[in-house]
Amino acid sequence: MNGTLTIDFLSDTSFSMPATLDITVDSEVSLDELGLPTAPGKTIHGLLRDTWLMLGDPAPTEGIALLGQPRSNDAEGKLRIGTARVTDPGVRAWVEAALTRGKTGGTGNPLPSSALPKAFLATRQLTAQDRDTGIPKTETLRRVRVVPAGTRLVAKLTVRGTLKEKEQELFSLLCALTRHAGLDRNRGLGHVKLTVTWENAPAPVALPPLPTVTQGTRFLPIQLRLTEPALLTSSELDVNSRISRDYIPGSAVRGAVAALLEARGASEGLLHGLLASGSVRWLNAYPSEKGQRGLPTPLTARRDKDATKEQDHQAEPEDEIERLLSPDPEPQHGQTQRTPLGTSFYAWEDRTGQWKPTKPRKIAHTHQTRDRETGVTWKDGTTPVYVYEALAEDQEFMGAVVVPEGESALAEALTNLLTHGPLFLGRSSKSQYGGLPEVTVGAGSAREPGLPEPVSVAKGEAFAVRLTADALLRNDYGQHDPYALKQILKDRLKDKAIVENIGVKVATARGYSRLWRNELPAVPAAAMGSVALCTATTDISADELTALQAKPLGERTTEGYGCWAILPLEANLRLAGKDDSRARAEPTTPEPELLIQAQRRLYTRRLKVLLAQHAITLAEKATNPPPPSTTQRLRTALRGEDWEETLKKWLSRSREERLKGTAYKKLESCRLDGKKLSVWLLALLDQPDTWPTVSSSESQERLRNRLVSEAKSVQLWAETKRSLRRHYLDTLLSRLAKVAQEES
């Protein structure tokens, strides 16, 4: 059972992060990977929980089933609230096109990512007041970043199981009663409206009996599109902080499916058959690009160490697997040193016959540790701030489930199970993380997804073996030894090929027992990307190659360890360089109102600076400027709503309406841009469309800050300039008064 929670901002609101990287503001708004504002699901959960606890003493018991037991880590509710974000596909498509504009195939002038907070957010200055005097207290001024009123965010609601009617009614009541959120609610910020919509629950999945074990296997490719950040821990920064892996391990997918099967009430026999019998394997999910699964970069892929420019042909990567045949693989004196590539995964493209780089995106979130009794930040002997670096949402990963061949019922049940979910991946799945992927299961194949079509190998022909996952190997003495790869490959290939040499990276394989809540022993493993160079001693058909690759190497193969691939040398040697993907095409649909308002905000911010610079430069070139009393009198007219008509009367040639006596003569005697000041001001007021060019690079400024289409940006730029005429004239007159004062 799923639903959506819509948050409409009726006033400026700030869902802040604990720390800000922008020193110009004291409180920063939470942003997603694209740079658009978000409201963390953990924060929304806390607001609804506080509303529930204020309903009475005791509060309705249905709230425990919804939101969990307060101040408890174990008694979790069955409702999971995702991060609320801008889900309008038009807005996101236009922003992505603006950020990638100027890459290969683009039109230039990409929008800098630092401009997005200025476009979709605003700043407010706040200060505390002295209760005795009513004046602002010293050292209390602060700047807060806010999400402007009128913005709409949408969060995904996920339920394990179903909600009873009373539980749905309680949640709707909590949403209706929660009217304020974020910082500084007593200062007018944070007035919100929450609306919930539920979807129809999917039909229960029919689970088959215990699967039978057969000789053949089928690889079912699974595409995981993350809708939330996923934290797959690989290392620790400190006691709290975590850094995620670059991929989704097969053990994580296996564990998430185990939790889902348990929630659906699967039989013990089925749980054992899918998760513990060894007949089903769960392969790692690697980053994919346009439906092509990436594979780990081979160890032998190298590039020049000193080549830092993308245009440098010497920086093109090469697969130097033939170095394994060299008696001295190290570079000689005077030769350029080679270094590993910066890209961890490459995807095979049948169209070009090359490996294209696929790089995962990550996002970092800052959190605070709070005391569960008081709710305040821990400080005494405990680090209150910690960081999670997780895989960003809105990206795709592809893995596979290896099932016994002929088990169509099992494959169908797994497809239904993975498609309907919900699947929680990684740590902190109940608060802001968990991946919550949208799963698509493809048709079965006889080989691992992402590999090229197998080609037969002739006798005497060299080929390469590459590990597509870490392998836990043991030597003849029973010890974990990554360099046992050579002997294990000899035993596996037998009389079909000989192993010339190997290139092995060493990794550390870890694990975690959820039953005993402790770490498994860390053991050395042959890392993904390790390679071996082999020579065929007989003809090997494509079917034989497929059958060889389908059987993994080493231990813990059900968790995705031990996958390997046999590739011809031509496929290994053809590596593409830097990612030359073209820019995102601009949508053909009209721009949403939220995007237009963001563009106005961005143009207003930039034009205010340009107009002020132009006005100051022009005023400093004026001759015989009028006294400050005269310019100040003109500035008072700018305070009224009909300021244009007032200035036209004061500057007209009619003696009855214009300024009297000395004041008008001072305007006549001042020369600005080669004209009388009165004539120059009248021309500006009479012809607003012929606004002076404020900068020689004005067109570049408009393009550099463009979010919308070219035609719409021209329109909005001109409208914004016209709306800032009062600001321009006020700056000009203020500077003229300053110049006159300095000259006197």
Contact 182, 189 (CB under 8 A): yes
- Taking CA atoms, 182 is separated from 9, 15, 153, 191, 696, in Å, by 11, 5, 14, 9, 43
Query: Residue 689 has what pLDDT?
Result: 61
Please state whether beta strands 242-244 and 385-391 pair in parallel, antiparallel, or not at all (unpaired): parallel
> Are 236 and 242 a contacting pair, CB within 8 Å?
yes
**How far is Cα 596 from Cα 638, in angstroms, rounded to an integer?**
28
Q: Taking 50 as the threshold, does the pLDDT of residue 650 lie above it?
A: yes
Structural contact between residues 163 and 138, judged by C-beta atoms closer than 8 angstroms: no
Looking at residue 303, what is its pLDDT? 79
Is pLDDT of 720 > 80? yes
- Which among 121, 120, 49, 50 is positioned nearest to 81, based on CA atoms? 49
The confidence score (pLDDT) of residue 467 equals 95
List C-alpha distances in Å: 545 to 215, 566, 567. Answer: 16, 7, 9
pLDDT band at 504 (very low <50, low <70, confident <90, very high): very high
The first and second tokens of residue 108, run together, are 């230039």
Residue 311, pLDDT > 60, answer no
State how far the Cα of 431 lies from the Cα of 45, in Å rounded to an integer: 8
Confidence at 640, pLDDT banded by 50, 70, 90: confident
| Residue-level pLDDT at 125 | 85
Local confidence band at 679 (pLDDT 50, 70, 90 cut-offs): confident
Query: Is the pLDDT assigned to residue 312 strictly greater than 60?
Result: no
Q: Is the alpha carbon torsion for 468, 474, 480, 481 positive or negative?
A: negative
Mean pLDDT of 606-620: 90
pLDDT at 435: 86
> Count of H helices and E strands in the chain?
19, 32
pLDDT of residue 128 exceeding 50: yes
The answer on pLDDT for 550 being more than 70 is: yes
Q: Tell me: pLDDT of 621 over 60.
A: yes
Radius of gyration of the chain (CA): 33
pLDDT at 313: 47
pLDDT value of residue 465: 93
Give the residue with greater pLDDT, 652 vs 525. 525
Round to whole Å and give the CA distance between 618 and 289.
53
Burial class (CB in 10 A: 0-12, 13-18, 19+), 546: middle
The tokens describing 249, both together, are 């391990």
Q: What is the number of residues in the chain?
A: 744
Res 545: pLDDT:
92
Residue 376: its pLDDT value, please? Answer: 65
When pLDDT is averaged across residues 525-530 and rounded to a whole number, the result is: 93
Question: Is a pLDDT exceeding 90 seen at residue 201?
Answer: no
Percent of the chain with pLDDT over 90: 26
Structure confidence at residue 378 (pLDDT): 63
Supply the pLDDT for residue 518. 74
| Per-residue model confidence (pLDDT) at position 246 | 92
> Which of 58-67, 76-85, 94-103, 449-458 has the highest average model confidence (pLDDT)?
449-458
Spacing of C-alpha 740 from chain mean position: 53
Q: Are 739 and 622 in contact (CB under 8 A)?
A: yes
Alpha helix stretches (DSSP H) within 520-561: 542-549
Beta bridge partners of 703: none
Q: Which amino acid is at 735?
A: R
Between the CA of residue 588 and those of 90, 116, 131, 303, 716, what are the distances in Å?
Answer: 9, 21, 56, 40, 18
Highest mean pLDDT among 139-143, 348-352, 459-463, 642-646: 459-463
Q: Looking at residues 703-713, what average pLDDT do you find? A: 89
The answer to whether the predicted template modeling score (pTM) of the entire model surpasses 0.75 is yes
3-state SS class at 9: strand
- What integer best gives the mean pLDDT of the chain? 83
**Per-residue pLDDT tens digits for 368-418:** 776 666 656 666 656 677 788 899 988 999 999 988 876 666 777 777 788
pLDDT tier, 213 (very low <50, low <70, confident <90, very high otherwise): very low
Peptide bond between residue 454 and the one before it cis (omega within 30 degrees of 0): no
Q: Which two tokens stand for residue 521?
A: 């022993």
Dmax (CA) for the chain in angstroms is 112
Q: Name residue, tokens 């390679």.
A: 531
| Phi, psi (deg, nearest 5) at residue 16 | -90, 160
Report pLDDT for 510: 83
Quick one: DSSP state of residue 18? Answer: S
Point out the least confidently predicted range of 286-290, 338-342, 424-428: 338-342
Structure tokens at 324: 């394994």
How far is CA 208 from each of CA 211, 259, 317, 412, rounded to the nearest angstrom?
Answer: 8, 17, 48, 9
- Cα angle 489, 450, 423; round to 5: 105
Distance CA 650, CA 265 (A): 84
Instruction: Pick the range with the lowest mean pLDDT from 16-30, 190-204, 352-366.
Output: 16-30
